[in-house]
Structure 1
Amino acid sequence: MATNTSTHFTNAKDISYVYLDQLQEGKDAHVRVMICRKWDTNTIYGKYISSDFIVCDQRGNIMQCTAKSNVAHCFINKLQEGCVYSIGMFSVIPNKNEYRILKDNQLMLELQGSTYVRKDTIDVAGFIRHPFQCVEFENLTPTFKEYLVDVIGYVTNVGEPSPQKTGAKTLDLFLTNQRGRKIRATLWGSLGDDLVQKKSNSCGLYAIILTSVIVKNYNNEVSISSTTSTLIIDDAEIPTLKEFKSMIGDVEVSEDVQHNLPVVQLGAVKEGTLDELLQLARKGKTDVVTFRCKVKIQNIRTKNGWYYLSCSICKCKKAVSRQSGNFWCDSCEKTVDFPRTRFRLQMDVTDETAQAVIVMFDETAEKLVNATAQSLLDDMNQDSWTSVLPIALANLIGTTHTFELRSNTYYQHTGYESFNCNKVCSAILPADEGALPIELDQDVTTPVEDGFTETTECEDSSPTPPKRKHSVNTPAKDFEHKKRRKFIVESSQSEDENNEISTEEVDKQ
């Protein structure tokens, strides 16, 4: 269909073109535009939604253009950045109510299956190759997910990747403008890895433009966060970046420049207590502090289970649901025959100063337990696995460990406060066992199920059986001659509601 209309368009002689600011909703028109920027838009779980573009006409008007997933394959390879195209048979639709790329635009273009495009050889004079709507840091206000903005600055204080509750990975950093004003930025998913790689290949101060970011309040401070439409723009030839670099002066990082920067060392780690960490986190300071806290595990919480099942087909880490007796993944919209088991540990911990809840996911939890979630689940009594902890987890209760905790992972719930664990540093057995500390930073091998962190699209083959090697950093308890304890949490569906912990003594099995 697109091929036929493209031929018809090529043979057309007298076509009247309009400018983008002359378009009207529901009216047919032909436009001549330059493709300034393009990207793919996905859900937070990785499901492909559309391919989107920023287009500009010869008068400098800019507009968002989108092609939904069912027709995007007709245009992805045809529309190249920096080229001018004649486009017809598209739809003019109202701009989105949420996550608008261009805040003040009332309309946007939507490419249809009948839309035809033709590369044009017109002079590019008048077109804006790199249109950005950068907002000064001092003027940033929360966008409340209504629209997205562009920001420009140079990168400082890059932290380390940190796992979140959803299983996603984030990277925290700071952007600084030409006046020394700093703002915290959080990059989600692979954007953090992309930035680290690009920054390592650059010299001097690394200046970038972050497109389509959300502005929000974080600990009473304005901060920005990436979206699935965010791009990292660092081409030094782009006029906007050239102008910014001229304002910040010498791009080489000299000792004088480094000395004058208000540096906040995210990577600096120091010894501390839970009480010190809680006091810093409650104040909502912009500076991120990383403490190594030596704590004792009092209890293992089971928030709807200490594990969860995720899809083994797509790359999302969302928990699968049950539909019609089968496991179902909303991201890839398929039945999952072999869901992947992942850790989600919530532990009540304490030291001599305070109490808190520490949350661990996947690889961090594996390092602590020294076993995969699937191997522990396989060894449990399937009739009682919803309430009885595996031995390797039950043995953690009463042991002392050193964890790396960051103030920026602080969450305040009803009845308790929690931090995500960034790293497991060491484990110390109970004093009455007379055991020596085990340094987990050294040569301790954690058995990992094949393909645990990388999912492959294979529906016909069964998953590789996991290696079973239970925790070596805790003493084995005699469950044959002692009463077995159940640790049950009465929990609701809300993450913010308090979990009341109770224990039940049962007769030995």
Structure 2
Amino acid sequence: MAPMYVLVEELDKDHTSVAIRLRAVRTYNVWYSRGRDQIKSRECVFHDEAGSYIHLHIPGKSVSPKNDFVEGNVYCIKKILVVAHWYCYKTCEGEYMMKVFSETLVKPYKGCDFPRYMYRLKPFEVLNTLDANILVDVIGRVVEIYSPLEKMINGRPSRLIDFVIEDLKGNQVKCTVWDDHVEKVKPFFKSDLLDPVVVLIQMGRIKLVEKSGEVKICSSYDATKLLFNQNTLEFVEFRNSLSMQQQTPLKSITSNSTSSYGTTSGVESSTKMQITTLSEIFSKRDIGDFLVPCKIIGIESDPNDWYYDSCPKPNCNKKLELNSGMYDCGKCGGRFVKGTLRYKLKIRVVDVNGTAPLLLWDRDVLELLCLKADELKVTTKVPKDIRNLKGRGLFFKISVKSETFDNLDNAVPVLQVKHFPEMFETYCPGLIQHNDDEFSSKLQLTQDDSDTNEGFFSDYPTESPIAATPGKQDEAGNETEAVKRSLLDEFSSIQPSMKKKEVVVKMENEKE
């Protein structure tokens, strides 16, 4: 007599001898460490003949070739444990999942009559109504890709890349993927592809931004899978529907990230952040965090002062002091043969009414150059990567303190940099078209420059950071508050923290 197979909905935690027939949808290993030298567990997701999904957990000690489930294949599984689903982010709905134990039997199913439900695609417009703890599948066309970034998460270096996908109705969702998933996206960054880039994100995590209510998709460790430009039915149907619509080109943006990585801990400014001009800040002597749209007109610091040796210990980053051939850290007390090279770059910027020196730290320069400090080749001439910063129009989030006004040539620390090319002309009309010689600056650092958040000091103390520049007057005052709020929302996703005597970029505490 043929065995009787139960369905997922018929599984009972009190029965261990039942048999079930399932198609493997997703199989991935969970490792004990990032070195991936020992398997902690193997996780599998299946669907039954009715299309219901179920998760299977295989402990590391039970992992063997017999349960090396191939995605797409069908298997008959007998004698399993039905246990409560214990993972925070679940791969499928349901209270229970399955677990392999010593008596579990597995054999392939060779029949061709088993249905195929590999993906559970969700429309973009319903994502905000779904349970954020259950991973979802979405498909869309990539319309924007942002430059890859590196961050320290819980003392470990991590990578991420952001991109935006669009569905057939024109709805867009921002996505962030981490670590190994970055390599899947990078080939499309700054590519010259003419055909649309279609991506299916399998088992992505829904993230709801509390303040704006915006929905984003993030990768969830090894569970998430990215599929690009496949020939399966889902991709064919999407591309056929897409060909009848007008398509916007894929944009690669070498800029700060567009997605939210969580809120960093620290002391937030009590003064409400606002979009303003350099002259308004310094004439009114306002204190707080501000957004200022400016154009970079030059690098003030000498090439020898573009970097500093920082503590290599995670989450320290303090400048090291050379002492008897070794580097000492005054913050954590460590002593090192060498430190980690990080950027510390003083730039000169202008807006329609004034000019000021700003201080960019490693994170911001890295995002602008996409090149680590130890990878930048410095010669007697200014490298092309640095020269390319000149003339760029960017939105800077700066932190102005009372001591900033003690010396008006103090470089103002930059908390964050954003690239809004479509909005820059609104706030700084005609600035990009101005002659660079009109705002040229050749200031150099003094020899006794100190490494504090008060910045670099110029050899020309008589030059004010709010010295008026010829040209058009500020026309940004006529812009609507709605436009300003949209820009402020972009910056609110990341809030770097500040200490009283030095700028410290706090990295997120929880990996997305």
In the alignment, structure 1 segments of 5+ residues that lack a partner are 1-12, 251-255, 311-316, 320-337, 372-398, 423-429, 434-473, 490-494, 503-509
| Amino acid aligned to 1:24 | D
CA change 1:347–1:431 in 2 (3 A) is closer
CA change 1:189–1:486 in 2 (3 A) is closer
Equivalent residue, structure 2, for 1:10: none
Equivalent residue, structure 2, for 1:180: 170
Task: Give the drift of 1:290.
Answer: 12
Task: Give the drift of 1:179.
Answer: 0.8
Task: Give the drift of 1:178.
Answer: 0.3
Q: Give the alignment's TM-score, normalised by structure 2.
A: 0.54
- Deviation per CA, 1:225-255: give whole Å up to 9, x if none: 22222111246442222332232235xxxxx
Task: Give the drift of 1:54.
Answer: 1.8
CA distance in 2, matches of 1:36, 1:146: 19
| Amino acid aligned to 2:85 | N
CA distance in 2, matches of 1:408, 1:80: 49
Work out which of the residue numbers 33, 58, 80 in structure 1 matches 2:49: 58
Work out which of the residue numbers 30, 35, 39 in structure 1 matches 2:24: 35
- Deviation per CA, 1:406-426: give whole Å up to 9, x if none: 98997999998623799xxxx
Matched, 1:105 2:94: yes
CA distance in 2, matches of 1:268, 1:355: 18
| Amino acid aligned to 1:86 | C
CA change 1:345–1:266 in 2 (3 A) is closer
| Amino acid aligned to 1:95 | H
Matched, 1:204 2:195: yes
Higher relative contact order (CA 8 A, sep 6+): 2
Matched, 1:81 2:71: yes
CA distance in 1, matches of 2:290, 2:137: 29
Q: Secondary structure at the match of 2:234?
A: helix
CA distance in 2, matches of 1:139, 1:159: 25
CA change 1:33–1:408 in 2 (3 A) is farther
Q: Secondary structure at the match of 1:133?
A: coil
Equivalent residue, structure 1, for 2:475: none
Q: Secondary structure at the match of 2:199?
A: strand
CA distance in 1, matches of 2:144, 2:40: 33
Matched, 1:364 2:372: yes
Equivalent residue, structure 2, for 1:247: 241
Q: How many residues of Structure 1 are paired with residues of Structure 2 in the alignment?
A: 358
Equivalent residue, structure 1, for 2:219: 226
Any conservation in 1 of the 2:147–2:255 contact (CA below 8 Å)? no
- Deviation per CA, 1:200-241: give whole Å up to 9, x if none: 697622222101222224583432222222111246442222
Identity, in percent, stands at 14
Task: Give the drift of 1:19.
Answer: 1.5
CA change 1:34–1:341 in 2 (3 A) is farther
Work out which of the residue numbers 185, 204, 214 in structure 1 matches 2:205: 214
| Amino acid aligned to 2:45 | I
| Amino acid aligned to 2:107 | R
Q: Give the alignment's TM-score, normalised by structure 1.
A: 0.55
Any conservation in 2 of the 1:213–1:227 contact (CA below 8 Å)? yes
| Amino acid aligned to 2:22 | V
CA distance in 2, matches of 1:233, 1:125: 26
CA change 1:296–1:109 in 2 (3 A) is farther
| Amino acid aligned to 2:243 | G
CA change 1:407–1:400 in 2 (3 A) is closer
CA distance in 2, matches of 1:147, 1:409: 37
Equivalent residue, structure 1, for 2:185: 195
CA distance in 2, matches of 1:237, 1:290: 46
CA distance in 2, matches of 1:149, 1:408: 34
CA change 1:292–1:88 in 2 (3 A) is farther
Equivalent residue, structure 2, for 1:308: 312
| Amino acid aligned to 1:204 | D
Task: Give the drift of 1:100.
Answer: 0.9
Any conservation in 2 of the 1:211–1:232 contact (CA below 8 Å)? yes
CA distance in 1, matches of 2:207, 2:134: 12
Equivalent residue, structure 2, for 1:9: none
Q: Secondary structure at the match of 1:134?
A: coil
Task: Give the drift of 1:161.
Answer: 1.7
Any conservation in 1 of the 2:298–2:390 contact (CA below 8 Å)? yes
Equivalent residue, structure 2, for 1:25: 13
Equivalent residue, structure 1, for 2:125: 138
Any conservation in 1 of the 2:147–2:252 contact (CA below 8 Å)? no
CA distance in 1, matches of 2:298, 2:14: 65
Equivalent residue, structure 2, for 1:385: none
Matched, 1:419 2:409: no
Equivalent residue, structure 1, for 2:321: none
CA distance in 1, matches of 2:54, 2:242: 31
Task: Give the drift of 1:499.
Answer: 1.4
Any conservation in 1 of the 2:141–2:197 contact (CA below 8 Å)? yes
Q: CA RMSD in A?
A: 5.3
Equivalent residue, structure 2, for 1:92: 82
CA change 1:276–1:172 in 2 (3 A) is farther
In the alignment, structure 2 segments of 5+ residues that lack a partner are 257-274, 279-288, 318-335, 350-354, 380-385, 403-412, 420-440, 455-494, 503-512
Work out which of the residue numbers 105, 110, 126 in structure 2 matches 1:116: 105
- Deviation per CA, 1:328-385: give whole Å up to 9, x if none: xxxxxxxxxx9996456677877535856633379523256969xxxxxxxxxxxxxx
CA distance in 2, matches of 1:412, 1:211: 40
Task: Give the drift of 1:99.
Answer: 1.1
CA distance in 2, matches of 1:164, 1:291: 26
CA distance in 1, matches of 2:390, 2:30: 36
Equivalent residue, structure 2, for 1:128: 116
Equivalent residue, structure 1, for 2:492: none
CA distance in 2, matches of 1:44, 1:343: 27
CA change 1:164–1:143 in 2 (3 A) is farther
